[in-house]
Chain A
Amino acid sequence: MSDTRTISLTLNGAAKTAETDVRVNLADFLRHSLEATGTHVGCEHGVCGACTVIVDGQPVRACLMLAVQADGSTVETVEGLATDGALSDLQAAFSRHHGLQCGFCTPGMLMTLHAFLKEVPNPSETEVREAISGNICRCTGYQGIVAAALDVAASRKGA
């Protein structure tokens, strides 16, 4: 029961090491052991997407992945999106388009779209909606989130 492992990973560019029970999922490890509470836990059964983080370049549900599976990995979370205190273009667009209200789903939405826009830099609205179809938002009706993603894609294209 108290079987533990020492996990070392790179979190938003910084090396982190902490000991954890083997049964602890990545979301709880990030939140409790590494005190990175920006990642949120909404459903704990892999549907709501609030806990989405990027592990070795791929978006994953941190509630469905054990912390031990992330040993040696590079993990990106919402805390890593801004640079030197300046919001990323996606974060700024979320605010501009009112893509968040209570903010609880927001970290997962941001990380899902952060990864998606790298893969699909010029998406259609339908593609954006499909991309976040695994992230539940109860507040916004999604429209501001979709608009933010399309706005970012357009401005990156123009840049």
Chain B
Amino acid sequence: MGARLFGASVQRLEDARLVTGRGRYVDDIHPAGVVHAAFVRSSLAHGLIQSIDTSVARTMPGVLAVYVMSDFAAFASGPLPQLAPHPLIQGPITYEPLASGEVRHVGEAIAMVLATSRAEAEDAAERINLDIEPLPVAADLAHALDPDAPKARSERADNRLATLKTAFGDVAGTFARADHVLKETFTVHRGGCHSMETRGVIATFDADDRRLEMWTSSQSPYLVRRNLASYFGLDESAVRVRAPDVGGGFGPKAAVYPEEAAVALAAMMTGKPVKWIEDRSEHFLATTQQRDQIWELEVAASNDGRLLGVRGRCLHDNGAYAPYGAILPATALGSFPGPYALEALDISIDIVLTNLVPTTPVRGASRPSVAFVLERLADRVARHLGLPREEIRRRSFIRVEQMPYVTGTKARDGSPISYDSGDYTAALNLVLDKIDADGFAARRAEAASRGKLLGLGLASCVEDTGLGPFEGATVRVSSRGRVIVTTGAASQGQGHQTTLAQIAADALGVSLENVSVEAADSGKFPLGISTIASRVAVTAGSSVELAAQQVRRKALKTASHLLEAAEDDLEIENGVVFVKGASDVKVTLATLAQSLAGTAGMRLPGGIEPDLAATAYFESTALTFAHGSNACEVEVDPETGDVRITRYVVAHDCGRLINPLIVDGQIRGGVIHGIGNALYERMIHDDQGQPLTATYADYLLPMASEMPNIEIYHLESPSPRNPLGVKGAGEGGTIPAAACVISAIEDAIGPGGTFLRHHPISFEEVAGLIDTRTI
């Protein structure tokens, strides 16, 4: 075999198209005769629709149709199916494609205009008059469970959608025996999606065949197919859903949306291709977000600084609908106990309905929030005991010799969670070494001489990755010797075309350029789940490996027959199978593929099954756990509170790296997202549920001018749970980042300063925390 591509920082196969403007995103697709949709959305957070006057809109130039929900009665009625049913959620708590009775958040779609251009559709949408009777608004998470709180949904008794729990160990005993018990309340805010490409969908419907075809800017094209086929009463074979180039996902594009159903319905009604491209304002109003969790927690610790137990509860802002079941709060439960060898845990999460946009996972889902509260508790114990923060962690971490480590918690399928591999203390020591923690005091003194406050931040995390059950793959050698990998796993920039090609190229002895990856088209690959939860390298990657190895064996068997040589004597390089030591005795993969493609009237060689191809579904039956420690330095201006991150260092372990260039990119982008959560991103609603930060002038995203370089160091503890030894890398950057930055700000303010209990923190808040008299 030639040099292995697995593990090499090869440049991405995707790039040449994308840097030349030849990407093909949903809005770049123009089916002949396409018409454009615009939605009329609720301006109230809660109300009852009394009337919808579409009479003027229907007469506007270019308008083909105006729809409200009742217009769709021939094809569909009622709320969409629950995407991820949860036994505790009585439902469905899902949207109708267009709201017909009660509207439950600002931005909920109520009516739809089709016109020959988007501009004309928007013109007409403005002329639709809505009469909505206001209802009391539940917009305050902290008080939404109070007995007299307004109800977010009129049909329910209260705003508690469900309460999820996890517990292990002798909780009462651990807390009773502990030397120290500390209690804290944390408020964690994550922002929205803010992929640079907004959502978009195109639908066409063939009324004769009753076939629905869609392109959607989705992480989950197969879930869109399943959900909409079920809703419309179509067989899944009659629904083709494709995700073309997708301009970022970050979680919210994994949900199935009412607009997808409405656009499909409009195509069914008109027989014309219908396109809707979300504008940025709609993205703020109607794309799922993450927002607030309020954690009331107690931590039990020993005199020597060991974390023994954590207990408490969380209020989780669910928003008005649960299109994605309880995945976001359930992920919070699954994120305990983090890297800590706790003796006892007792956590409950109240999923609270509010009249706000639904919350679903945003990069990291609830993992960053749990990392934040656990890391804050570790720092709190350090403060209380007067011990260094890293000592609390060293004394409390799960140790490498305890692997595999059964945490005591349970996975979504009810199986016990166990961490598979990793040396958490090694990652911590590495990051402290690389940031030169020993030299920090001198740097702090130097900064102080310039009138600045320097702080060192530290945070660690464990990330569950490789969520089951599968993403499958077919590997096929074409008659020209090209290797075609087909998979259901959608991409939103992760570089799967390259990483999956690296795996297949190694197995089949071909160059990277001879591999094509086709993904996320239900017309080309039968099944798929979703690109979420840092799962594609483990699931699709392993399936490609298994399928490609099967193809390799088949190629060798076929070549053995054609060359009259033993299989063990054969090797494959550069697309040619040859006899070791006699390289002129050879046959190309192309010829082998042709011979297995069949010729009329001729027998197949050696009775081998046709098609030089194989399909594999690696089933990921147990999660695999990445981990890492981050350290950063922030320089705070005591006058303005301005926080500048001057260094950021990551020690990360995601098992074996398929492509370090791509993994580093995932980590860097993830860290920056977490820095945004720590310092900038704040989706604010007033007490009537009106969004106040719905432009990029008010909702701040991390910009190049404020962001540090991210230094990355890898440890590699291969996962024993998949054939590649890989672990996911998509969210490990984000998970500890907000905790790390807040820890650094707190350190900069100094040991006598306020213990920080929330993020994001504004520079005004930071300035207010600094007692300038002491500087």
Contacts and interface: CB of A to CB of B under 8 A. Distances in A.
A138 B20 contact: no
B665 A144 contact: yes
A37 B15 contact: no
A43 B18 contact: no
Contact of B196 (A48, A94, A142, A144): A48
A104 B250 contact: no
B585 interface: no
B61 A2 contact: yes
A47 B493 CA distance: 22
B73 interface: no
A1 B127 CA distance: 15
A98 B12 contact: yes
Contact of A145 (B195, B250, B704): B704
A100 B279 CA distance: 23
B695 interface: yes
B335 to A, nearest CB: 23
A59 interface: no
Contacts of A31: 27-28
Contacts of B709: 143, 146
A79 to B, nearest CB: 4
A138 B194 contact: yes
Interface string A92-115: 001110101111111100100000
A141 B668 contact: yes
A42 interface: yes
B25 A104 contact: yes
A1 B61 contact: yes
A98 B492 CA distance: 15
B707 A142 contact: yes
A17 interface: no
A118 interface: no
Interface in A46-78: 47-48, 50, 77-78
A138 B669 contact: yes
A102 B20 contact: no
B669 A42 contact: no
Q: Which of A41, A78, A101 has the most CB of B within 10 A?
A: A101
Contacts of A36: 21
Contacts of A134: 703
Nearest to B707: A142
A101 B665 contact: yes
A133 B194 contact: no
A38 interface: yes
B697 interface: yes
A21 B116 CA distance: 13
Contact of A102 (B123, B493, B672, B707): B493
Contacts of A23: 119
Contacts, number: 166
A21 to B, nearest CB: 7
Interface string A118-159: 000000000011101111111111111110000000000000
B28 A135 contact: no
A132 B704 CA distance: 6
B16 interface: yes
B696 A94 contact: no
B677 interface: no
Contacts of A103: 14-15, 17-19, 23, 245, 247, 493
B701 A37 contact: no
For this complex, into which size category does the number of interface residues on chain A fall? 35 or more
Contacts of B430: none
Contacts of B696: 43, 45, 47-48, 136
Q: Which of B28, B662, B664, B705 has the most CB of A within 10 A?
A: B705
Nearest to B246: A102
A47 B697 contact: yes
Interface in A4-63: 21, 23-24, 31, 36-45, 47-48, 50
A50 B280 contact: no
Given A102-B248, A129-B705, A44 B197 contact: no
B18 A138 contact: no
B22 interface: yes
Nearest to B18: A103
Contact of B18 (A37, A50, A100, A133): A100
B277 to A, nearest CB: 8
A17 to B, nearest CB: 20
Q: Which of B247, B280, B672 has the most CB of A within 10 A?
A: B247
Nearest to B60: A1
Contacts of A128: 704
B494 interface: yes
Contacts of A139: 196, 248, 493, 665, 669
Contacts of A101: 248, 493-495, 665, 669
B668 A140 contact: yes
A98 B15 CA distance: 9
B153 interface: no
A148 B123 CA distance: 43
A23 B280 CA distance: 19
Interface in B14-61: 14-25, 27-28, 61
A130 B707 CA distance: 11
Interface in B663-716: 664-665, 668-673, 695-697, 701, 703-705, 707, 709-710
In the A-B complex, the 3 residue pairs with the closest CB atoms:
A38-B21, A104-B247, A102-B493
24 contacts: A1-B61, A24-B119, A31-B27, A38-B20, A41-B27, A45-B695, A47-B695, A47-B696, A77-B21, A78-B20, A79-B20, A95-B11, A95-B12, A95-B16, A98-B662, A105-B196, A129-B705, A132-B704, A138-B195, A139-B248, A140-B665, A140-B668, A143-B710, A146-B709
Given A47-B697, A96-B11, A132-B705, 14 more contacts: A37-B21, A37-B27, A37-B28, A43-B280, A44-B279, A94-B19, A95-B16, A101-B669, A102-B247, A104-B196, A129-B704, A138-B248, A141-B668, A143-B709
